Structure 1
Amino acid sequence: MQKLLATRNEEMMKRLHHYLQQRGVPVTVTEHGNQLELWVTQSSYVALAKDLIAEFKADPDGVEAELQRQAAGTDPTTAPPPNASIGRQLLQQAGIVTIAFAALVSLVFLALNTQLAMGMFEALRISDTFTDLPWQQPWRLLTPVLLHFSLLHFFFNVFWWWYLGGRFERTYGSSYLLVALVVCGVFSNVMQFMVSGPYFGGLSGVVYGLFGIALVVAWQRPGHPLFLPMGLIAFMLVWLLLGYTDLLWVSVANTAHSAGLISGLFLGIALRIIEHYKKLNNA
């Protein structure tokens, strides 16, 4: 066992003990003199317990209210009631940016399957040459994320955008999702362009960026809305590695995937740092 803290505040200890237990952390409380001591009974939970204690101290009422919302099924980051319609369930899992961008990607995909296809591709691809970045048209650094060339490609990316982007937006807000979209999209597009030229497209770099963010911000925090099960993590990483082999039946923008993941990991680290300093300021 390892002692986490000691206090004379019986009410605070009672609330904190309940909060940690609800988050799945094995803790116990003992008396020592005129103080109450909080202990974690398994050493593997120490880091998680310390994070949760910091969150609790920063906003005790807020974290308890979040637990109550989750228990009642009303928290925006949890699944809606099972009797809700599929449309309602999908909408409750996303925010305005998630929804609007998915709609835009869908409209572009439909246009790419009409006579507008060539003009659409020429307008949205990153560059008209194999060597020059579009400094005079900087939006082209991002617009390749709108391009999808097969139904499977389109559905795969929109699904993961909704799954990861929706949870990210509901947790951190629309502004943070826009930043992640731009940073991961531009970085992955530029890296892919440098390797293969302008003939590529897709949202996969952003998807892997959001995946990287989730890996970092939810690390050892199983109660976090972006916490990913190990099976999903393994699937994403195996798919990434398979892209570098000849085993897949489709052409994969491997550099965009890897660059997106790298940029997402750095954004996740930045978010953890921001959260840490917010806790310090609120302590």
Structure 2
Amino acid sequence: MRMIGNLEGEARARTFGDYLYALGIDNQVEVEKDDSWAVWIHNEEHLDKAKSLLVQYMQNPEEPRFRATAAAAEDRREQKRKEQIAYEKRLKERRHLFRPLTTYGFGPLTFILICASVVVFIFSKGGDNKQAIMDLFITRFEIVGGYIHWQAGLPEIRHGEVWRLITPMLIHFGFLHIFFNMLWLRDLGSMIEGRQSSLTLAILIVVFAAGSNLGQYLASSPDFGGMSGVVYGLMGYIWIRGKRDPGSGLYLHNSTVVMMIIWFFLCLSGMIGNIANTAHAVGLIMGISWGYLSSLRHR
């Protein structure tokens, strides 16, 4: 905000302020001393135009065009007030978003993914029987003498088994692994389906799963699985999209984001055990990027 000059008397200052406001130039007039009023311009892009108009006004403050804009300025203020009320209403709705989730239950795609993950978990005996689900890993491998052996270059995918890019997300090792991933998927996935669409969620999941799985494979080995990379992708997307585009209806409380970030770094530290940290990181980066880029069209 920059000051462009002073005017004598409140009436003159407010008349000029109304004139600028009616032209779309946001401003503020403030008394300083001895009935001298400062004129402040909010946006520096309007400085030159506002200064030119101030010179014209000071030369002939009684010119009709300056006094004929009070009604237009008030109309614009009323419109701004309505927009602010609508914005605050949307913000309030976002803060109570997790309660309405129970009214429409699971999103259909979210429900299908949870069921598929549970079926794979049971079929693989909690992830212990890897041979039974080898077609879901990003590439085939075998463990001999405690070492993992696989053919480099993802030959199965190159020969048409493209589902392997995303199906590792259905594999989980242990009850806590699948339990917490499904809890997060239920909330985040259902939110996106309820506020946007199942198609949007499907696209996000395919992209986040493929990206995080490839990242984890390149960083370690094909012996990994879980929905965590997708969950972090969805979290990053909702977090940034909601902050930059409140009208989207997406919202994550700051405490939720902080908790997820703390967990991310705990896993990264090695204190939690063997974790697919690269999948987490790639998913989070992709989600944040997608949330930011998609919000640009709605600002």
TM-score by length of 1: 0.67
Structure 1 counterpart of 2:99: 79
Determine which of 100, 108, 119 is the counterpart of 2:112: 100
CA contact (8 A) 2:137 2:223 kept: yes
Which of 186, 211, 215 is equivalent to 1:187? 211
Alignment correspondent of 2:200:
176
Question: Which stretch shifts more, 123-132 or 96-105?
Answer: 123-132
Distance in 2 between residues matched to 1:120 and 1:90, nearest whole Å:
35
2:153 counterpart of 1:132 = yes
- 2:251 is matched with 227
Question: Unaligned 5+ residue runs, structure 2?
Answer: 2-16, 23-68, 141-149
Say whether the 8 Å CA contact 2:137–2:224 is kept in structure 1: yes
Q: Cα 1:92–1:145, aligned 2, differ >3 Å: closer, same or farther?
A: same
Per the TM alignment, residue 168 of structure 1 is displaced from its structure 2 partner at its CA by: 1.0
> 1:78–1:251: structure 2 CA closer, same or farther, 3 Å change rule?
closer
Contact 1:212 1:264 (C-alpha < 8 Å) held by counterparts: yes
| Alignment-mate amino acid for residue 180 of structure 2 | F
1:186-205 to structure 2, matched below 5 A, reads: 186-205=210-229
User: Given that residues 93 and 167 in structure 1 are in contact (C-alpha distance below 8 angstroms), is that contact kept between their aligned partners in structure 2?
Assistant: no
| 1:111 equivalent in alignment to 2:111 | no
Supply the distance in 2 between the matched residues of 1:267 and 1:257 (Cα, whole angstroms): 15
Match of 2:178 among 154, 163, 166: 154
Question: What are the Cα deviations for residues 129-163 of structure 1, in whole angstroms up to 9, with x where unaligned?
Answer: 25222222111011100000110000111011111
- Equivalent residue for 2:145? none
Q: RMSD value over aligned CA atoms? A: 3.7
Matches within 5 A, 1:234-249: 234-248=258-272
Q: CA deviation at 1:120?
A: 3.1
1:47-73 deviation per Cα after TM superposition (whole angstroms, max 9, x unaligned): xx99x949x7xxx9xx98x899x69xx
For residue 244 of structure 1, give the secondary structure of its aligned residue in structure 2.
Answer: helix
**Unaligned segments of structure 1, at least 5 residues:** 8-31, 40-48, 81-88, 277-283
CA shift digits 1:62-92 (9 cap, x unpaired)? x98x899x69xxx9x5524xxxxxxxx6472
Separation (CA, whole Å) in 2 of partners of 1:169 and 1:183: 16
Q: Which residue of 2 aligns with 1:43?
A: none
SS at match of 2:99: coil
**1:239 offset after TM fit, Å?**
0.8
- Relative to the length of structure 2, the TM-score reads 0.64
Q: Does 1:38 align with 2:50?
A: no
**Contact between 2:170 and 2:226, CA under 8 Å: does it hold in 1?**
yes
Between 1:111-120 and 1:251-260, the stretch displaced more is 111-120
The aligned residue for residue 266 of structure 1 is: 289
Name the SS of the counterpart of 1:218 in structure 2.
Answer: helix
Q: State how far apart, in whole Å, the 2-side matches of 1:78 and 1:208 are.
A: 18
Native 8 Å contact 2:245 2:298 kept in 1:
no
Amino acid at match of 1:145: M
Aligned length: 221
